[in-house]
Amino acid sequence: MSEPDREPTEKPTNTKREAKEEDQWMIRNWIGVAVVSIFGLLLLALGMMQATGLVDLLAPVADTGAQQWGVFAVLALVVLALAGWSWSAIAG
């Protein structure tokens, strides 16, 4: 038997209050991951439509193509920052 099998990493909860707090923590963190995933997919779809010329949603914000891709890059960094914050809450 290996060492992790002898001592589990997570201890069972002893009270209903502990179980409820753990459930709420898990729900809150996984909702954060879901929201970041949705924003990431929307950003990916926007980038693909922008790259093919199907839409020009960023035109009111930026005039040239380079400025539009700059705005897109800023949006991507925001989504990455949200993802890092969301995933750090799960890990820690």
Q: How many CA atoms lie less than 13 Å away from 87 in the CB half-sphere?
A: 8
Average pLDDT over residues 44-69: 85
Residue 65 pLDDT class (50, 70, 90 cuts): confident
Contacts 24+ apart (CB under 8 A), 24-29: 29/86, 29/89, 29/90
Average pLDDT over residues 79-88: 81
Asked whether the whole model's pTM tops 0.75, one would answer: no
Domain residue extents for the chain: 20-91
Sign of dihedral through CA atoms 41, 46, 51, 52? positive
- pLDDT of 3 > 70? The answer is no
Top pLDDT among 13 and 43 is at: 43
- pLDDT of 2 > 70? The answer is no
